[in-house]
Amino acid sequence: MAVRSTLPSSTQTHALPRDRFFNRELSRLDFDSRVLSMAEDGARPLAERIRFLAIVSDSLDDFFQVRVAGLHEQLMAPVRLTSPDGMTSEEQLDGIGERVRDLMERQSATFDGDIVPALADAGFRIVKAGDLSKANHDLLTEVFQEQIFPVLTPLAVDPAHPFPYISNLSLNLAVMVRDPRRHQPRFARVKVPPLLPRFIGLPDGERFVPLEQVIALHLPALFPGMEIVSHHYFRVTRDADLDLDDDEAEDLMAAVQAELMRKRRKGRAVRLEVGPDMSPDVLFLLLRELELGPQDVYSVTGMLDLTGLLSIQMPGNNALAARAWMPATQPRLRPQGGEPVDFFEVIRVQDLLVHHPYDSFVTSVEAFVEQAARDKDVLAIKIALYRTSGPDSPIARALKSAALSGKQVVALVELKARGDEQANIVWAKALEAAGVHVVYGLVGLKTHAKLMLVVRQEGAGVRRYAHIGTGNYNAATAGMFEDVALFTADADVTADIAELFNYLTGYSRQSRYRKLLVAPTTLRSGMLKLIQQEALKPDGRIVIKVNNLVDPEVIDALYRASQGGVRIDLIVRAICCLKPGLPGLSEAIRVRSLVGPHLEHSRIFRFGKEAGPHVLIGSSDLMPRNLDRRVEAVVPVADPDLKKEVEQFLELELADDTLAWELAGDGTWRKPAAGRGVNTQELMQRPTLGIVDVDEVQAV
Alpha carbon separation from 239 to 103, 612, 623 (Å, rounded): 21, 48, 22
Catalytic position from the list 72, 448, 467, 601: 448
Report d(CA 426, CA 188) in Å as an integer: 36
**Can you spell out the DSSP letters for 508-564?**
------SS-EEETTTHHHHHHHHHHHHHTSTT-EEEEEES-B--HHHHHHHHHHHHT
Report the SS3 class of residue 284: helix
Of 603, 599, 554, 546, the residue nearest 572 (C-alpha): 546
Measured at the CA of 176, the angle between CA 307 and CA 293, to 5 degrees, comes to 60
Alpha carbon separation from 68 to 74, 271, 335, 420, 575 (Å, rounded): 10, 9, 51, 20, 16
Report d(CA 664, CA 114) in Å as an integer: 30
Strand partners, 297: 272
**What letter represents residue 66's amino acid?**
V
Report d(CA 357, CA 602) in Å as an integer: 11
**Can you spell out the DSSP letters for 474-524?**
-HHHHTTEEEEEEEE--HHHHHHHHHHHHHHHS-------SS-EEETTTHH
The answer to whether the beta carbons of residues 47 and 321 sit under 8 Å apart is yes
Signed CA dihedral, 113, 206, 51, 298: sign only:
positive
Signed CA dihedral, 105, 108, 112, 115: sign only:
positive
The answer to whether the beta carbons of residues 152 and 90 sit under 8 Å apart is no
Q: Give catalytic status of residue 448 as yes or no.
A: yes
End-to-end CA gap in the chain? 49
Signed CA dihedral, 229, 235, 239, 242: sign only:
positive
- Whole-number CA gyration radius for the chain: 27
Helix ranges (DSSP H) in 330-393: 343-349, 367-374
Report d(CA 470, CA 297) in Å as an integer: 38
Name, in order, each residue with C-beta under 8 angstroms of 344's C-beta and a sequence gap of 6 or more.
371, 375, 456, 463, 465, 489
Cis peptide before 340 (omega within 30 of 0): no
Of 386, 399, 473, the residue nearest 436 (C-alpha): 399
Question: Could you give the dihedral angle defined by the CA atoms of residues 619, 625, 629 and 634, in that order, rounded to the nearest 10 degrees?
Answer: 20
Query: Which residues are known catalytic residues?
Result: 448
